[in-house]
Every structure is written in C-alpha cells, then in structure tokens.
Amino acid sequence: MLMYNEPSRLEQHLAEMKFDRSAAADLWRNTLSQIPTTFGRLIYLASLRDQNTGVYQHHGLAQIFGPEQADQTLKQSHNQVFAEWLCFTLEQQKDDLEDYLDELKEDKRTILATWIRLSPYRNFVPASAREVERNLFNTDLETVLELLRFDYAVASPDPDA
C-alpha cells in the first residue's frame, strides 16, 4: 500500500507564500522557515522586541518594507507562533523544546537549571497576549521544564545560591 505523507503546517504555509511578496511572506520564507522548532521561532521573535519600547526591529525587513511594517509583521508573527505553541499538547511542547535544546551548543542541564532558576521564558510571551494565555504558557513551560529536570537529572534549584 502506498502511504501519502501530508505536508507539515510549515510546508503548507511556505507553499502558500512562495509567490507572496509581503513582509510576512519574506520573513517566513527567508528567516523563520530556517528555524526548525516552534520554540526556537518564539525565542527568535521575542529577541527582536526592544525590551524598553516593545517595538520589534529587524534591519533587513525594515530596509525593504519600512520600520513600521517590519514592526507590525514581527508582532503578528510572534503572536502566530505563540498561538501555535499554546495549541501543542504538553508532549508536543516537551518534544519541541527538546529539539530546540538539541540545536544549542550549551549543556542541556545547565540551560535547564538556569531557566528553572531565572525564568527567562517569561519574556518570550508577546505583549498583546491575554493574561490567561500568559498564565497557560508559563504553567505549561514550567511543567515541561520540571519533566525535563527529571529526565536530565538536574538538581532542584537552591534558593540560597
């Protein structure tokens, strides 16, 4: 029997945007599609947001489409990727986060211990996220981190350290 593999959501999205010349299509085609995990895309987009002003900045997009359009496109993409992450089951979130960690050069145990202690992931949430979405993200991620803490035998954070 011949099995048909359905294209992934990302592959479908890229196919639709192949001839689209919009800022969003450019961003997905040239940048976000190169990031293999949803969590990686979420971190990348959050990193483009100025922590003082909330304005997203991307030099290449701003040169082509202008800073306002770049900001709007990045904001929309951040919201879209965030919504995609929230729709994942805990198992999918755990798998995606592990895939993201596999791509990093740093030691997973060190990263996990640091994230558990400092909670940098709280800055990955789009500013426009509703409180319930923000709480769901934080709760899910803290659950996934706790599962990974056990998987990788990361010591409990020491509050006196």
What is the per-residue pLDDT for 79?
A: 97
44 part of a folded domain: yes
27 part of a folded domain: yes
In tens, the pLDDT along 48-74 reads 999 999 999 999 989 988 999 999 999
CA distance 141 to 122: 10
Give me the number of domains the chain comprises.
1
43 part of a folded domain: yes
In tens, the pLDDT along 107-152 reads 999 999 999 999 999 999 999 999 999 999 999 999 999 999 999 9
107 part of a folded domain: yes
3 part of a folded domain: no
156 part of a folded domain: no
Question: Structure pTM?
Answer: 0.81
42 part of a folded domain: yes
Domain of 114?
21-151
Q: What angle, 0 to 180 degrees and rounded to 10, lies between the N-to-C axes of helices 9-17 and 23-30?
A: 130
Closest CA to 46 of 66, 3, 23, 75: 75
Both tokens assigned to 116:
């558990």
Q: Are 96 and 37 in contact (CB under 8 A)?
A: yes
10 part of a folded domain: no
